[in-house]
Amino acid sequence: MTAAPEGHEAPTPIPPPSNFPVTWENPEDEGLFWQTDPMHFPEPTTPIMVRVGEAINEGFRLAGKVYGMPVTLRYHRINTYHYKTILPVVPPEEMEAQGKRAEANLQLAVGRLWELWDSEVLPEFKGILAFWETFDLRNASMPALLAHLDETWDKLVRQWEMHFLIGFPFLLSPSLFQEIYQELFGEERGLDAYRLLQGFGNKTVEGDHALWELSRKALVSPAVHRILAEKETSDVLTTLENAPEARGFLKELHAYLEEYGQRTDVFAEMGCPGWIEDPTTPIRNLKAFLAQPDRDLSAELAALSEERERSIAQARADIKGYPQPVVEQFDFLLKAAQDGTIIQEDHNHWMDQRGMYKVRQVLLEFGRRFTQAGVIEDPEDVVYLTSDELRETGSGLPQGDRRDVVAQRKAEMDHFRRIQPPPVLGTQPPGPPPDDPMGRAMGRFFGMPPQEPSEPNVIKGNAGSRGLARGPARVILSLAQSGKLQKGDILVAPSTMPAWTPLFATAAAVVTDAGGVLCHCAIVAREYNIPAVVGTGRATSVIQDGQTLEVDGDAGEVRIIS
């Protein structure tokens, strides 16, 4: 290895722990800096997710090329966990100049963010959804189904390209607004900027409110109320179907699932059933909502909207005497940040949830046929095959027994599920990452490393949503455990994707291991007006069920009281 230039640290190899040995298929990968992504992929992922990860990588590359970004993203499945790295696409001497060009291009996109989403990205993506929805999976011949699979992978790349085309500017816009707000009003008021973005609602909050309203309808139907209150979660749907007096409620439940249930409990994982397939999670939420006092969530959102308008009026009054270009830049970034905050959640509903659900349905059709042919045991087992094996098996039916392969891969995932993956692998790069607007926005999304606490009973993280709350901790590692969350509890979780947010109507505050002020959890916590401390890195491993916590969303601190 050549010596590092004077004044620069040399790259440092990161030895993996003994229980997580890594074999690098490509020796060059060992020289890269790999990080876990606990926000999106906290658990082991199935083998078919390698193909999904490749689509994400290619989508990022293509979108980055449009904006002229000097870096790209790459996901890689290592010992069943998805790791990510950032790679340069230009020589080191060109990074700064290329970064400036990308920044200028992104600023243009920020200026037309809503138009980009509403007139270009969303209409095109609805066309992709129509491609999946109009194809007759069940009656297609195998050659036609294989051709549809190839087109599905192509559509998935385009989906992720659009995801990042809109994602870069919608992430950048609130980050830039926070920065101008801090410049005008002081660093310590950075979180105040998000009061000016709250109360608009979005598809995530809309779905949560619809589920709450469904619970209110259940309360006024004695038969439905009794079924939800008395039956085990797994028995509720069958019991409702066999109760004539529940027919109206059941119709509304299916309508809810059709609109908001094309999602899974975890991000993008093809092995996780959608709520339409398995409504356990929404039914569990309905059962929990029954025990809660009535509240008007629409009125609460309207109150947040009123507070937003007061905050905007006050901010504009405070900068009234500033030079006109400053006032215009403030208004420009305020509008972009408001649009970006809505689009971040809406794109998740359409792309990350509904789009990935459609891809899963394509895979399950192969699984159904493979099970009929006896080459796998269960349609769900199809996700334990690679994309090449999927195609080979489809082309060779009824030959090509994959049952042993599936069993081995299930065992591998079970093995590594019991092991905490190291947060970083490969080689530690010399020096900090570049300090540029997009890099800072990404830092606010994924979260900066938490500071060391000054007291042993304090856990530090990133301030996500303002407020102070005290209550008993409920450590919930997956939505299967969400039934133990009671009104007034503090939700402590690895991270929260949209499927988790109905719990925000129950929780007094939220604490997560992953995330920053721009992550999904923080945005929705602000829409529920509950405190959130995100990106603690260790809350779920330190905090125990039942401990009394004090969550300070302004300071980004969690204090263990008992």
Average pLDDT over residues 300-322: 96
* pLDDT for residue 454: 79
Query: Is the model's pLDDT at 448 over the cut of 80?
Result: yes
Question: Is 360 part of any domain?
Answer: no
Please state the domain count of the chain: 2
Query: Does 422 share its domain with 460?
Result: no
Closest CA relative to residue 146, chosen from 375, 387, 399, 406 = 387
Query: Is the model's pLDDT at 9 over the cut of 80?
Result: no
Average pLDDT over residues 147-161: 98
Amino acid identity, position 358: K
Closest CA relative to residue 218, chosen from 227, 209, 205 = 227
What is d(CA 91, CA 96) in angstroms, rounded to the nearest whole number?
10
Question: Is 105 part of any domain?
Answer: yes
Query: Does 413 share its domain with 547?
Result: no
Query: Does 489 share its domain with 546?
Result: yes
Q: What is the mean pLDDT of the chain?
A: 94
3-state SS assignment for residue 37: coil
Contact 202, 346 (CB under 8 A): yes
What is d(CA 436, CA 100) in angstroms, rounded to the nearest whole number?
9
> Tokens for 308?
């937003």
What is d(CA 35, CA 469) in angstroms, rounded to the nearest whole number?
32
Q: Which of 396, 428, 460 is the last residue of a domain?
A: 428
Segment 371-382, tens digit of pLDDT: 999 999 999 999
The model's pTM: 0.94
Average pLDDT over residues 218-224: 96
Q: How confident is the model at residue 350 (pLDDT cuts 50, 70, 90)?
A: very high
Residue keyed to tokens 């500033």: 322
- The CA distances from residue 52 to 225, 248, 252, 271, in Å, are 41, 39, 33, 12
What is d(CA 481, CA 492) in angstroms, rounded to the nearest whole number?
12
Q: How confident is the model at residue 2 (pLDDT cuts 50, 70, 90)?
A: very low
What is d(CA 285, CA 233) in angstroms, rounded to the nearest whole number?
10
**What is the CATH number for 516?**
3.50.30.10
Query: Does 509 share its domain with 418?
Result: no
* Count of CB atoms situated within 10 Å of the CB of 313: 10
3-state SS assignment for residue 34: strand
Question: Is 117 part of any domain?
Answer: yes
Segment 426-443, tens digit of pLDDT: 999 877 777 889 999 999
Question: Is 326 part of any domain?
Answer: no
Query: Does 393 share its domain with 481?
Result: no
Chain centre to alpha carbon of residue 145: 30
Query: Does 549 share its domain with 422?
Result: no
Contacts of 302 by beta carbon, 8 Å cutoff, 6+ apart:
199
What is d(CA 341, CA 440) in angstroms, rounded to the nearest whole number?
17
* pLDDT for residue 562: 83
Query: Does 415 share its domain with 479?
Result: no
What is d(CA 460, CA 534) in angstroms, rounded to the nearest whole number?
9
Domain containing 95: what range? 12-169+387-428
Query: Does 411 share its domain with 547?
Result: no
Query: Does 82 share its domain with 142?
Result: yes
Least confident span in 80-84, 208-212, 244-248, 446-450? 446-450
Query: Does 405 share its domain with 541?
Result: no
What is d(CA 502, CA 296) in angstroms, rounded to the nearest whole number?
15
Question: Is 524 part of any domain?
Answer: yes
What is the sign, positive or negative, of the torsion defined by CA atoms of 51, 109, 521, 183?
positive
